[in-house]
Amino acid sequence: MSGDADLIKLYSQRILALSAEIPHTARLPAPQATAMKRSPLCGSTVTVDLTLEDGRIADYAQDVKACALGQASAAVSGKVILGRTRAEVETARDQLKAMLKSGGPVPDAPFDGYEVLEPARDYKNRHASIMLALEATLDAFDKALEVAA
Q: Per-residue pLDDT tens for 23-79? A: 999 999 999 999 999 998 889 999 999 999 999 999 999 999 998 999 999 999 999
Indicate the average pLDDT of the chain: 91
Phi, psi of 117 (to 5 degrees): -100, 10
Q: Tell whether pTM > 0.85.
A: yes
Distance CA 107, CA 104 (A): 9
3-state SS, residue 46: strand
Q: Is the pLDDT of residue 2 over 50?
A: no
Determine the average pLDDT of the residues in 71-92.
97
The residues, ordered by sequence, that sit 6+ positions from 71 with a Cβ below 8 Å of its Cβ are: 18, 19, 20, 22, 64
Kindly state the average pLDDT of the residues 86-104.
97
121-135 pLDDT per residue, tens: 988 989 999 999 999
Is residue 8 pLDDT above 80, yes or no?
A: no
Q: What is the third-level CATH fold of 2-148?
A: Sufe protein. Chain: A (3.90.1010)
